[in-house]
Amino acid sequence: ETPGNPYYNYSMIEIYKELAGNLRNIVVFNGDTDPSVQMRGTEAAVAAMGFDTVQGGDWRPWFFQPAETAVSLLMDKSPWWGPFLDYRPLNSQLGGYVKNFQGNVSFVTVHDSGHMVPQYKPVAAFHLFVRGLLNKPLSPLLNESAVTGLSDVAFYGFNDTAGYMGQWTEEASSKDYTDSGEWSAKPAPAAEPSYAETVKTDDESERRTHVATARKVLRPPAKTSLLKSLGGLKMSQVQSLEKHELKHLMEELKEIYDAKDH
């Protein structure tokens, strides 16, 4: 132990060194805005394993294809989950950066993500996990020998002619690297009709709609959503609930009632 330096009685580095080459692949990832596990520290830890960088596999961006998100999900979700989700389909977006090492070890950063990567960037995280599990590259390798001798015009391009960087970026953001295969996100199911939108036919079908809608209304993700939902609640919806559901509702209301005393 050196005075003034952090000391730990264990390290994952030796374990990773034993696993590398004996497993299909190892992916170590880090959100680039993580305040508790800073990405530079993780990068240094991976480099400390001692593996050489793959030819053309040094620091480079990777992309993913975000799917449109149902408006109903955007309205109901926590603001801290998927803050970058959008109801519109978008072109390929920057997922982060990747560095590949010998032994099929990769260090990956996730752009604009904190510590809980699937919470901050669920679509990018899903793409990262699928590509990792299928042992597919996140990004094409760079042709370093070709880049070294290129002029600025050949590298950056000129007027309407793309240079090497533009061509590489187009390939990296193409479906060859942004496609998650059969695991791609499926379209969101159609939202259930609200009580006001229900078409009244016979009594039985109307009652079934009461049951489905009431249970949906009374199962919000947060108490604020519960209060918002109660404004349009009708007695017939309450009566359609099961006993355990009524008990849960009463417990939620009691918590809100007790909080009014403080």
CA distance 226 to 248: 12
Q: Where are the alpha helices (DSSP H) in 20-101?
A: 39-47, 71-76
Domain 13-183 is found in CATH 1.10.260.40: no
Enumerate residues 6+ apart whose C-beta is below 8 A from 104.
Answer: 20, 21, 23, 24, 25, 26, 135
Q: What pLDDT was estimated at residue 61?
A: 98
List residues bridging with 64 in a β-sheet: 93
List residues bridging with 93 in a β-sheet: 64
Q: What are the backbone dihedrals phi and psi of residue 47, each rounded to the nearest 5 degrees, phi first?
A: -65, -30
Q: What are the backbone dihedrals phi and psi of residue 161, each rounded to the nearest 5 degrees, phi first?
A: -95, 120
Q: What pLDDT was estimated at residue 104?
A: 93
Q: What pLDDT was estimated at residue 219?
A: 43
Q: What pLDDT was estimated at residue 221?
A: 45
Q: What pLDDT was estimated at residue 186?
A: 55
Q: What pLDDT was estimated at residue 46?
A: 94
Asked if residue 100 lies in contact with residue 93, where contact means CB atoms within 8 angstroms, the answer is no
Q: What pLDDT was estimated at residue 255?
A: 79
Q: Which DSSP symbol is given to 6?
A: -
Q: Is 126 exposed, middle or buried (0-12, 13-18, 19+ CB in 10 A)?
A: middle
Asked if residue 101 lies in contact with residue 25, where contact means CB atoms within 8 angstroms, the answer is no
Q: What pLDDT was estimated at residue 12?
A: 86
CA distance 174 to 140: 10
Matching residue, tokens 């990004």:
139
Q: What pLDDT was estimated at residue 8?
A: 64
Other Cβ atoms less than 10 A from the Cβ of 199: the count is 8
pTM summary value: 0.66
- Can you give the residue ranges of every domain in the chain? 13-183, 195-259
Asked if residue 127 lies in contact with residue 29, where contact means CB atoms within 8 angstroms, the answer is no
Other Cβ atoms less than 10 A from the Cβ of 64: the count is 27
Asked if residue 17 lies in contact with residue 98, where contact means CB atoms within 8 angstroms, the answer is no
* Structure tokens, 186: 């499926």
Q: What pLDDT was estimated at residue 25?
A: 94
Listed as ranges, residues in the chain with pLDDT below 50 are 193-225
Quote the distance between the C-alpha of residue 187 and its chain's center: 16
How does DSSP assign 130-182, residue by residue?
HHHHTT--SSPPP-HHHHHT--HHHHHEETTEE-HHHHHHHHHTSHHHH--GG
Q: What pLDDT was estimated at residue 233?
A: 61
Q: What are the backbone dihedrals phi and psi of residue 121, each rounded to the nearest 5 degrees, phi first?
A: -130, 70
CA distance 205 to 140: 55
Q: What pLDDT was estimated at residue 252?
A: 79
